[in-house]
Amino acid sequence: MAGKKAHIFLAAAGIACILYSCNEQPKQQPPVKKPEHTFSVNGSVREIKISPELTEFPDHAGKAEFVSYCAMCHSLRYVTVQPDFPRHIWEAEVTKMVEKYHAPIDSATCRKITDYLVAIKGIK
């Protein structure tokens, strides 16, 4: 009889453990500042001002070009989520945006943006 009780106790303890771990809160994410987009209608013109996610990017030459050109089609987070890359990978990435996806960025600006990416997320 004592053996059976022990089994029931162990089973109950097991269930309690499972319940407890399911209840565990997911890891806290760092707070994300909500961008302040504005929307206005002027006659038939609708204007949406999307504020760039400037805050999370370090100041360095090329930042202005990066935040204006690279946010045309997608969030700048596409860059934030990448690991650090050597120069040739960033170069290829910027070239891909221009050649494959037709980003309207001239080659001098591409170089500036590549320099910026290498400065903020580059490795040797």
Interacting residues with ligand HEC (CB under 6 A)? 69-70, 72-74, 78-79, 82, 93-94, 96-97, 101-103, 105, 113
- Residue indicated by tokens 């290829």: 92
Residue closer to ligand HEC by CB (options 94, 118) is: 94
> Which CB atom, from 22 or from 90, has the smaller least distance to ligand HEC?
90
Answer for the pair 110, 98: CB distance below 8 angstroms, yes or no: yes
- Are 70 and 121 in contact by the 8 Å Cβ rule? The answer is no
The distance of closest approach from Cβ of residue 49 to ligand HEC in the complex, given in angstroms and rounded to an integer, is 18
